Chains A and B, each alone.
Chain A
Amino acid sequence: MKLSLTRRYDFSASHRLHAPQLSAAENQRIYGKCNNPYGHGHNYALEVTVTGPVDPATGMIANLRDLDPFVEREVLAAFDQKNLNEEVAEFQTTVPTTENVCREIFRRLQDFPAAHLERVRIEETSKNSFEIGAEDFA
């Protein structure tokens, strides 16, 4: 059998979907209301899944006392209550779609020292979600 542990976090942020290489009309056609120049926000739910051997001494794949501060430091401190376009360096050059947010969060978390990062999943709203697995991240 294979075991994984998933922890769920929340953050709230604003973004605007806009590709500078495209015309205003194309941006409007592709991104619709997400292209509104002043941006908009979401309550994002972030699920972080790790795998690895269960330490017999602790019964844990990863201690939340290690994982929580790591995610706080690497992701939540930079993303929560922020404007993703303006305040996260990565999104000054890529469009902060939730696909790209997934990839960026995976990149930030992949060096978690205590377990293997298996998957990052984000619910942008209760109706849509995005995920990236270790096998997809290259």
Chain B
Amino acid sequence: MIRITRKVEFSASHFYHNPNFSAEENRRVFGKCNNPHGHGHNYTLEVTIAGEPDPATGMVLDLKELKDILQREVMDRMDHRHLNYEVPELAGKIPTCENIAAVIWRLLEPKITRGKLDRVRLYESPNLFADCTAASANGAGSHA
């Protein structure tokens, strides 16, 4: 099996706020990320597909096709958007790195028709990233 990875970057704003928490609790749990005016990141997304190369093309999945899927499913939804207000899939969720990675996994998985989605890695900054991978066969470690 071969794994191929495509990287894209998008820029978006967000803030963390749980309406069920008091103002004080929001500040305590989320710190400066609770600033209601929001703040932004340059996100880097790495998407890995695993599979056997097609003998006719030598490719697991044409990277151009993957690029188009990422454009449609991720970039068009999230690039230069406010993640709290403009991405319906994140409605009602705190737009943390973990939640965004999980949403991206769910958006991409059904669109990958050759090979299998193996990993979604989302960097919020060079010092913080979330990984989403397929759960092991027995479901252990699944935190969906």
- Report A's interface with B, CB cutoff 8 A: 1-9, 49, 51-54, 56-61, 63-65
Contact indicator A1/B128 (Cβ below 8 Å): no
Instruction: Enumerate chain B residues within 8 angstroms of A4, measured Cβ to Cβ.
Output: 130-131, 133
Instruction: Enumerate chain A residues within 8 angstroms of B94, measured Cβ to Cβ.
Output: 58-60
Residue of A nearest to B102 (CB): A3
How many angstroms from the CA of A57 to the CA of B30 in the assembled complex? Answer: 11
Contact indicator A61/B128 (Cβ below 8 Å): no
Residue of B nearest to A7 (CB): B128
Contact indicator B143/A2 (Cβ below 8 Å): yes
**What's the interface size class on B, roughly?**
20 to 34
Task: List 28 A-B pairs, Cβ < 8 Å.
Answer: A1-B105, A1-B142, A1-B144, A2-B133, A2-B135, A2-B143, A2-B144, A3-B101, A3-B102, A3-B131, A3-B144, A4-B130, A4-B131, A5-B130, A7-B127, A8-B128, A51-B141, A54-B96, A54-B98, A57-B18, A57-B20, A58-B16, A58-B30, A58-B94, A58-B96, A59-B16, A59-B94, A61-B98
| Chain A proximity of B109: nearest CB distance (Å) | 8
Instruction: Enumerate chain B residues within 8 angstroms of A56, measured Cβ to Cβ.
Output: 93
How many angstroms from the CA of A71 to the CA of B104 in the assembled complex? Answer: 29
**Beta-carbon contacts of B123-140 to A below 8 Å, as 1s and 0s?**
000111111111110000
Counting residue pairs across A and B whose Cβ atoms lie within 8 Å, the total is: 82
How many angstroms from the CA of A7 to the CA of B128 in the assembled complex? Answer: 5
Residue of A nearest to B121 (CB): A6
Contact indicator B144/A57 (Cβ below 8 Å): no
Residue of A nearest to B131 (CB): A4
How many angstroms from the CA of A65 to the CA of B30 in the assembled complex? Answer: 8
B115 at the interface (CB under 8 A from A): no
B97 at the interface (CB under 8 A from A): yes
B63 at the interface (CB under 8 A from A): no
Instruction: Enumerate chain A residues within 8 angstroms of B16, measured Cβ to Cβ.
Output: 58-59
